[in-house]
Amino acid sequence: MMRNKKAWLRIVEAFVAVALIASVLVVLYVRNQPSRSSDVCKLEETILEEIASDAILRSSILSINNMEIGDFVNSRTPDGFNSTTRICNVTDICGLQFYKQNICARERVISSNLTAYQPVKIKIFMWQEK
């Protein structure tokens, strides 16, 4: 009879140990979620730098070709995130027409290429899908 109680005690101990480890992992996972958003903001800065240094993409922005720039940004958007790109006048606010929570937005002014001076602002918005 005593041997049977020890077996149950060991089962309970093992269950408590697994529950404790699982709860620690959940807490660590939840704490690391915001860093994913900050990584996306850094990615936006990298994308804007890439656009600014590429002559073809600069020309697309200066000719306000939203389709080509949107495709370029979407190809670099990580899984689980959505993105929208806006090209506006430098003096415009250049916001979204809808509201999303936990959105990251970065912008950059593209002023010219070798043949044209026509300053515009490109703004990238990224947010996590629900």
53-86 tens-digit pLDDT:
988 888 888 887 778 888 999 999 988 888 999 9
Residue 8 domain-assigned (yes or no) = no
Residue 97 domain-assigned (yes or no) = yes
pTM of the model: 0.67
Number of domains in the chain: 1
Per-residue pLDDT tens over the stretch 6-30: 888 888 999 999 999 999 888 877 7
DSSP labels, 60-92: HHHTT-HHHHHHHHHHHSPTTEEEEEEEEETTS
Domain that holds residue 108: 34-128
To the nearest whole percent, how much of the chain has pLDDT over 70?
92
Residue 59 domain-assigned (yes or no) = yes
Residue 103 domain-assigned (yes or no) = yes
Residue 91 domain-assigned (yes or no) = yes
- DSSP state at residue 124: E
Residue 5 domain-assigned (yes or no) = no
Residue 20 domain-assigned (yes or no) = no
Residue 10 domain-assigned (yes or no) = no
Beta bridge partners of residue 107, listed in sequence order: 123
